[in-house]
Structures are given as structure tokens and as C-alpha cells.
Amino acid sequence: MENVSSNIKVRPAASGKAERSKSGFWLVVLGAALWGADPLFRIILLKEHMTATQIVLIEHILLVLFVAPMLWKHRSELKGLKLRHVGALLFLSWGGSAIATILFTQGLSSGNLNAVVLLQKLQPIFAILMAKLLLREKLPKHFTWLFIVALAGTYLLTFGFTFPFGHVNDFVKVGSLFSLGAAALWGGSTVMGRLMVGKMEYETVTSLRFILALPLLIGITINQGDPWQVHTDGGTLAAVSINMLGQALLPGLFSLMVYYKGLTTTKASVATLAELSFPMVSVLINWIVFHQVVTPTQAVGFILIWAALFMISRKSAA
């Protein structure tokens, strides 16, 4: 009640809160925009005849070099971990960091680039469903109908107005299915991250996410036995190295840190708007670099997905 009776106290506090909220919004925009540059790096590497698993493995090796000192600094937080915490960390690292990234990379090599990217907006849907199952969180009002709208948008993004089962082989090879799998795992990783809130610092969880994924990626790469076909001439090797480093640091580590920093002062409904910078940047890059234009059907599908997510986030915030 003291703030109500004093204009001198209220205004600076409100102003400071508004400034933090404003800066947080633009941090979310920046972090999501950096995610939008991720396909550019991955497609260039795929054109160098590297497999999706090989790209993700090297990416994680680079990331581990950067986050290992961070984990060492917070090593005391590893004491007293319970089985559910270990399970959450394994889902984060194996599912969200290793397998999901492989699926997304594979989707870029075998599907429509814009559809693969835009389908990632479904991540919050999967996160809400898993939060309901695992954390017993209450679903937002009218979630079922909004979910159906999002599914309709997903269908349009993936198949357009055609029936997908005319040729089974074509259906199985649709890159959008890989993208959906990645979105499901990344959405689930959000829930697993919530389980770790209060148990560890965010820096510790981030470093464990990359470090624990490394043994699995090494095992998958060895089991696949694909030859490494990167050209060894100086120019090509330098270009590949720069792309790998840029991919690991910009849309990988740096964007993740910036995004979560901004999210601490940004409402969920506002963050949904800010995250539109992700598909917008990706679609723009696909248009300029890879000459892929968004079709009217894809535009309608994306609008349906975003409208459903926006309504869900508004109801969740309420």
C-alpha cells in the first residue's frame, strides 16, 4: 500500500519494469531470429556430403568444448540428483539435443525447407500435452478445438490440399515428418526443463544437455558406419569449419542463452509474437539463398497454427 500513496515510488518502479519487459521482448526476438539462421548452416554442410548424424556430432563436440568449464564451475549441483532428475536430463540430452537435432537436419535434406521450418511452431502444443501427462498441469480452455485447428494447419503445411497416401513411399519420405518428430522432442524437452527448475542453475542444465548427448551421438555415428566425405582441400575444409563453428555458437549456444534471458521478463502470450522472428528469418533465408517461396497453402497452414498457439498462450497466461 505504500507505493499507492507515493507517486515518487510508483513511477520509477513501473518504468523500470516496463523497460525490462521491453528489453526482454527484443531479446526473445533476437534469440528466435538466430534460430532462423540454423537451416542455412545445416543445408550448406549437407551439400558437402555430410550426414545429419555427422553434422550433429561435430556440432556437439564444439559445444562441449565451450560448456565443459561451465559444468566444472557448477559441479557441486550434481550431488543429490534423484532418479527423476536423471531421467529428465537424459530426455533433454538424448531426445531434445541429439535425436531431435538429427531429425530436424534430416528433414532439411529430404523435404520442403519452408514446411520443415514452419512446423517447428508446433513445439508449444507438444509441450502443453506432455505437461498435462507428466506434470498434471491443467489444459487451457478450449484446448481441444484449438489443437484441431493446429492439426489442420499442420496438414496444410505438410501435404497441402492433396491426400498423402496415394504413394506410400512418397509419404514415408516426407521431410515434414522428421520435423514433426523434432518438434515433439523439443516440446517435451521444455517440460523436462521445468522438472529441473529449482534443482540446478540454467547454465548447469544447458551444459549437461550437450555433454550427455555426446556418447549417444558417437554410438549412433559408429553404428551407421557412413564414410566421412568432406573434401580435404584447404578452401573447402576452412569453409566447413567456419560453418560448423557458426552453427554451434550462433543458432546453438548464444541464441539459447539470449532467448531464456529475455523470457524471464516476457509474458508467454507476448513471447509467442516475438518468436515469429524464427520462421520469418528462416523463410526469408530460404527465399533469398535457396529460392524457395512460401506457397499460399503453406501460408494458410502457418496462419492456422500461429492463431491456435496465440489463443492458447493467451488463455494460459490468463
Tens of pLDDT, residue by residue over 51-92, are: 899 999 999 999 999 899 989 998 898 888 888 889 999 999
Q: What is the pLDDT of residue 9?
A: 40
pLDDT above 70 for 232: no
Domain ranges of the chain: 23-317
Other CB atoms within a 10 A radius of the CB of residue 48 amount to 16
- The highest-confidence range among 9-23, 27-41, 223-237, by mean pLDDT, is 27-41
Res. 262 pLDDT band, cuts 50 70 90: confident
Calpha distance 194→191 (Å, rounded): 5
Q: What is the pLDDT of residue 3?
A: 37
Q: What is the pLDDT of residue 101?
A: 93
Average pLDDT, stretch 127-146? Answer: 81
pLDDT above 70 for 193: yes
pLDDT above 60 for 143: yes
Tens of pLDDT, residue by residue over 106-125, are: 988 876 788 888 888 788 88
Calpha distance 114→154 (Å, rounded): 12
The SS3 of residue 83 is: helix
Contacts of 262 (CB under 8 A, 6+ apart): 23, 24, 25, 26, 27, 28, 29, 30, 31, 271, 274
Tens of pLDDT, residue by residue over 20-62, are: 667 888 888 898 888 888 888 888 888 877 889 999 999 999 9
Calpha distance 268→149 (Å, rounded): 20
Q: What is the pLDDT of residue 290?
A: 83
Helices (H), the chain: 7-36, 38-46, 52-73, 83-90, 100-110, 113-118, 123-134, 143-159, 168-172, 175-195, 202-224, 234-248, 255-263, 268-274, 277-290, 296-317
Calpha distance 42→24 (Å, rounded): 28
Res. 163 pLDDT band, cuts 50 70 90: low
Q: What is the pLDDT of residue 69?
A: 93
pLDDT above 90 for 247: no
Average pLDDT, stretch 170-192? Answer: 79
Smallest CA-to-CA distance from 281 within 25, 111, 38 is with 38
Q: What is the pLDDT of residue 21?
A: 64
Q: What is the pLDDT of residue 100?
A: 94
Res. 19 pLDDT band, cuts 50 70 90: low
